[in-house]
Amino acid sequence: MFAMNPASETADDPSVEIEQDSHEESKTSLKRSLDESTQTDALAVINKPIRRKVKQLTAAQQKKQGLENIFTQIESVDIEDEAVYDDCNEVRRKIRNWLAEVGANQSQLSKHLGVQYKQVYDFLARKGPADGAGTVVYPLAYLFFERVRLLNNKQKSNRRLQAEAMFGPCGRPLIQCGPRTKVWGF
């Protein structure tokens, strides 16, 4: 008896051909359905509105961003006269009031002025109208608050007008004359 080869058996059998044809048809129909579904999915993705996550800022980040905006507005003001007319006590009072009003701290102000935190701290710790006049912070802080005054469209105070009349166009001397400084006269 002959052993039949399965390959030859399927080749001669017409029912196997029909199954193969139906299998090919199901493949093509599957491809069509996949193409249509992927097109529909692709169109759905394309037509879907883009939802972007809006980054929520924390309170500290909002405060920092607000301070940066304030500092940029202040720096945008041009000053014609760079002479200093307020005494050190007045500048220290302005620093403390402004920090409390805006909600900033000394380190943020010192960073903006371009000085070290300790320099601002030491300037604020001094007492007296001329104690601290030789520091770097005094003229920088004065010019900062002069910009703030101009930005807010405020008039010069009576004290400022008196200082302008007393010291002239050069302003107050920027030398330190206080309890920590000894001035020797000849």
Q: Is 126 within a domain?
A: yes
Rounded (10°) CA dihedral 48, 49, 50, 53: -120
- Render pLDDT for 78-130 as a digit per residue (tens, 0 to 9): 787 788 899 999 999 999 999 999 888 899 899 989 999 999 999 999 998 88
- Render pLDDT for 53-73 as a digit per residue (tens, 0 to 9): 666 667 666 666 677 777 777
Q: Is 90 within a domain?
A: yes
Q: In the prediction, which pLDDT does 83 show?
A: 86
Q: Is 105 within a domain?
A: yes
The Cα 131–Cα 176 span in angstroms is 6
Q: Is 14 within a domain?
A: no
Q: Is 177 within a domain?
A: yes
Phi, psi of 107 (to 5 degrees): -70, -35
Residues in CB range of 90: below 8 A, 6 or more apart: 129, 159
Range of the domain at 164: 86-186
Q: Is 106 within a domain?
A: yes
* Position 1 confidence tier, pLDDT thresholds 50, 70, 90: very low
- For residue 16, pLDDT over 60 is answered with no
Q: Is 129 within a domain?
A: yes
Q: In the prediction, which pLDDT does 2 show?
A: 46
Number of separate domains in the chain: 1
- Render pLDDT for 30-55 as a digit per residue (tens, 0 to 9): 555 555 655 566 555 555 566 666 66
* Position 182 confidence tier, pLDDT thresholds 50, 70, 90: very low
Q: In the Cβ-directed half-sphere of 18, how many Cα atoms lie within 13 Å?
A: 3
Q: Is 41 within a domain?
A: no
